[in-house]
Amino acid sequence: MNPKITVMLVDDHAVVRAGYRLLLSQSDNIEVVCEAERGEEACQYYSEWHPNVIVMDLSLPGIGGLASIRRISSRDPGAKILVFSIYDELVYVLRALEAGAKGYITKSSAPETLVEAVKKVAGGETYVEPEIAQRLLVQTIAGKKDASIDLNALSAREFDVFCLLAKGYTTREVADELRLSYKTVGNYTTLIKNKLNVSTTAEMARLAYQYGLLKA
């Protein structure tokens, strides 16, 4: 009998983690061994449990999903991280893979996709949800500008703040969503404007739309 694939779930919603756990437990060779709701916890628990696969959301309180991926991968280049996110925009996919993730699927995918992705990533493969993989291929063939390049000036947390501001969130709403202080979000906003050479949130929205982060 093959040894079980050990998994750590990282999501800040307990109900969501319970659903993942139930779904994965239906597979005979997958076992959820630990859970985390913040990026810092994910980094700590990975070093303690060494799970075969980390299933991680990008929207996390604390240091956030992208920074967590980068931190874990820098400490252990062999870490197998599967992103499971609501975001299907290619810029999120590219940033996650560049940070060190080995797979990316969306929460709108079929339940069996999560199980398949966990098994593929555990086996050393890179797994990207088929529909997203097709869009990545089309973009490459078409020779379109890589949407992540210009935004790479932003840190992982700055990128999170930028996306929310571009969607129309107020500073207070961003602070509540990311569990940051109002002052911290204000500081991030200033850095973002300087790095992207914009002065208003309307300009951020136009930039986000240009790079596929906002839908018409």
Instruction: Convert the pLDDT of each residue in 109-127 to its tens digit.
Output: 999 999 999 999 999 999 9
With beta carbons less than 8 A apart as the criterion, state whether 128 and 93 touch: yes
Q: Which fold has domain 147-210?
A: Arc Repressor Mutant, subunit A (1.10.10)
CA separation (Å) from 73 to 42, 43, 54, 96, 207?
12, 10, 11, 11, 29
SS3 110: coil
Q: The domain at 5-139 falls in which architecture?
A: 3-Layer(aba) Sandwich (3.40)
pLDDT at 100 over 50: yes
In the prediction, which pLDDT does 208 show? 81
Strand-pairing partners, residue 82, are 55, 103
Amino acid letter at 204? M
Q: What is the pLDDT of residues 140-183, one digit of tens each?
A: 655 545 444 467 788 888 988 998 998 889 999 999 988 899 99
Residue 140's pLDDT is 60
Residues listed for the chain = 216
pLDDT at 215: 64
The domain ranges of the chain are 5-139, 147-210
Q: How confident is the model at residue 42 (pLDDT cuts 50, 70, 90)?
A: very high
Can you give the pLDDT at residue 149? 41
Backbone phi, psi, residue 4, to 5°: -70, 150
Q: What does the mean pLDDT of the chain come to?
A: 88
pLDDT above 90 coverage of the chain, percent: 60
The Cα angle at residue 43 between residues 177 and 73, in degrees rounded to 5: 105
125-137 residue pLDDT tens: 999 998 888 877 6
pLDDT for 77 beyond 70: yes
- Per-residue confidence (pLDDT) for residue 8, from 0 to 100: 98
Residue 210: pLDDT above 80?
no
11 by DSSP, 3-state: which?
A: coil
Give pLDDT, residue 146: 46
Percent of the chain whose predicted confidence (pLDDT) is above 70: 92
